Structure 1
């Protein structure tokens, strides 16, 4: 069963998020459209697999990498040899770097090949990863950055009304975090992702101010994100559990992160760091370091499904899935994957278990 074709499909879907976003870390201020890159891999037997890269400003370079570098290399290759393909492509093209657009692109193809593997075997991907008895997983609502405390309060309350008991903020100012805790009360779990803005000293000063708000974790507090020694210092002295890993790539990056004792929660992002092939290795590595995996999933296509399958099979009953809390004008899978009362279904069909809706691709595809 060989790879016959690889097609890149850029999508742009409008959304609302309960108010205009402030300085959005995923795009421009006031961002109101979500760009994504879906990848369709077709075999010579007619099986189709779907993958996804991380979106927003990363779509254009990832598409160039797939169309001009990876597709010519991979068409004709055995689609069942996923591990071999991933290693050989990383070795051959390491001159482009071990992260960024190249690895995002390879991640999407890896996810698509796992989708094909499951369809070929007639089993869901979670079964290929060891199986699970979970039919649903808890989800946390991952909110936009608003900065305005009143908008934060409104959207925290909105998420709670939608059934979420776990929330993630992307705020970087104390009044916004205070508003979230006041709106949520003491029984709702709140995490805070600040997207790597601070020096170690600034992060420690902010941690002191944030401690009263009982955060489950403080995510990526240090710039640059690969300053693992600095992260370890914030973890040791800041008084709040630390999470990171969204910007780490491949097994070795995570080895360095965990060996530094930098995190309480490690957050591999399958559409960035090597797909399911690398993601499953991170679970074993994290277990060896007594660290909890919380998969980063700020997307809602095949990358989300990959996260759900891996979390269900490898994460155990404590797994919580990130849900991008945007009101999308259209969902790639309709309502099949929408959380209900704060829980997301684990697809049971072969492969990733769901197929993109052709009309959504037709209506929201961009050139």
Structure 2
């Protein structure tokens, strides 16, 4: 089979969050819509694969790169030469950057090609990756930043009452984090993603204030996020496990993170760092360093499904899956992937296992 066409489909879906959101790295204050970019790859025999790129406000640039640069290079290529094609394009376009739009675009295409491979073999992707006994994985509710103690209490209680035993906060104010812990109680595991705001000294000082909340990890505490020696210092001196990796873009980035001893948990984001092809390499590398992989999945389309398959096959039954706790007006997969009692099903159909709802694509597609 050869690649016949690559189509980029931007979606904009309204959501609520149990209250107004604070401004965050993903968008402005009171954000109430979320943009995503879905990629449809069709072969010359009509097989369709679906991918997704991370993007938010960067989606127009990723769409442009796929449409004008990556797609023309891939048309008529053999779909079975997936890894070769991805490497060829990384090499050809490396002068335009090893992060951002080019790698994001390749990530979406790679996921779609894995979807096609699974459909061609009539197997779910997790079986192509080695198989798994897990039929579901624990999910953690990844809450938006509220910067408001009462809102965080309300939404933490709502998540716990829905069955989540694991939560992720995106707060930076100690009193708001205290409110979340009080609302959750002592038995709920809480992680904290602060999105790289502090110097190393500031981060170490903050860990002293945060230690009482018994956090499972603190995520990206240091600016810039590629300051791996700084992360290692926080890990050594802070007394809280450190997680990072969602802003790492290549396998070499992950190698440097691990060699620096910077993390207790490593977090590749398959819609940002090369798709499933590169993700499986990070799992192998992390395993060699005895560091658990907690895949970053702040999205809910094919990128999320890719993460579930990889986590089930390569991370095992104890892997956790991030669930963006957004209350979307419409889900690309209906209710098929929504966690129940804090667990998300591992799809059993061929490829990614679930097909997007064409009505959702029709109703929420936007022009860029």
Q: TM-score, normalised by structure 1?
A: 1.00
1:114 — aligned with what?
114
Counterpart of 2:168 in 1: which secondary structure? Answer: strand
1:191 maps to which residue? 191
Q: Which residue of 1 aligns with 2:102?
A: 102
Provide the rounded CA distance (Å) in 1 between the counterparts of 2:165 and 2:214: 14
Counterpart residue number, 1:257: 257
2:84 aligned residue: 84
Matched with 2:230 is 230
Query: Matches of 2:348 and 2:58 in 1, distance apart?
Result: 31
Instruction: State the SS of the aligned residue for 2:4.
Output: strand
User: Is the 2:301–2:332 contact (alpha carbons within 8 Å) kept by the matching residues of 1?
Assistant: yes
Matched, 1:203 2:187: no
Once the 2 structures are TM-superposed, how far is the Cα of residue 55 of structure 1 from its aligned partner? 2.9
Residue of structure 1 in register with 2:305 after alignment: 305
Other-structure match for 1:288: 288
Q: Is contact 2:133-2:317 (8 Å) kept?
A: no
The answer for the alignment partner of 1:49 in structure 2 is 49
Answer yes or no: is the 8 Å Cα contact 2:139–2:320 preserved in 1.
Answer: yes
1:68 is matched with which residue? 68
- Give the structure 2 partner of residue 133 of structure 1: 133
CA distance in 1, matches of 2:246, 2:209: 24
> Following superposition, which runs of at least 4 residues in structure 1 exceed 2 angstroms of deviation?
none
User: SS of 1:16's equivalent?
Assistant: coil
Tell me if the contact between 1:34 and 1:55 (Cα under 8 Å) persists in the aligned partners.
no
What is the Cα deviation at residue 316 of structure 1?
1.0
**Matches of 1:55 and 1:226, distance apart in 2:** 19
Alpha-carbon displacement from aligned partner over 1:312-357 (angstroms, at most 9, x marks no partner): 0000121000000010000000000000000000000000000000
Aligned to 1:332: 332
What is the CA-CA distance between 1:21 and the residue it aligns to? 0.6
1:205-262 deviations in Å (ceiling 9; x for gaps): 1111000000000000000000000000000000000000000011100000000000
DSSP 3-state at the match of 1:160: helix
- Contact map agreement 2:17 2:325 (CA 8 A) in 1: yes
How big is the shift at 1:58? 1.8
What is the CA–CA distance in structure 2 between the aligned matches of 1:362 and 1:348, rounded to whole Å? 26
Corresponding residue number in structure 1 for 2:364: 364
Partner of 1:4, secondary structure, is strand
1:46 match: secondary structure? coil
| Conserved? CA contact 2:55–2:62, under 8 Å | no
Q: Work out the CA distance in 2 between the residues paired with 1:182 and 1:243.
A: 23
CA distance in 2 between partners of 1:55 and 1:335 (Å): 23
The size of the alignment, in residue pairs, is 367
Query: Does the aligned pair in 2 maintain the 1:139–1:320 contact within 8 Å?
Result: yes
Report if aligned partners of 1:178, 1:213 keep a CA contact under 8 Å in 2: yes
1:14 is aligned to 14
The alignment partner of 1:317 has SS state of: coil
Given that residues 4 and 44 in structure 1 are in contact (C-alpha distance below 8 angstroms), is that contact kept between their aligned partners in structure 2?
Answer: yes
- Partner residue in 2 for 1:30: 30
In the alignment, which residue of structure 2 is the partner of 1:171?
171
Which consecutive unaligned segments of at least 5 residues does structure 2 have? Answer: none
Unaligned runs of 5+ in 1: none
* Contact persistence 1:197–1:223 (CA under 8 A): yes
User: What whole-Å deviation, never above 9, does each CA across 1:120-157 have from its counterpart, x for those lacking one?
Assistant: 00000000000011110000000000010110000000
- Cα offset for 1:197? 0.5
Q: Deviations over 1:62-121 (max 9, x none)?
A: 000000000110001011111101110000000111111110000000000000000000
Whether the 8 Å CA contact 2:268–2:282 is kept in 1: the answer is yes
* RMSD (Å) for aligned C-alpha atoms: 0.5
* SS of alignment partner, residue 237 of structure 1: helix
Q: Counterpart in 2 of 1:344?
A: 344
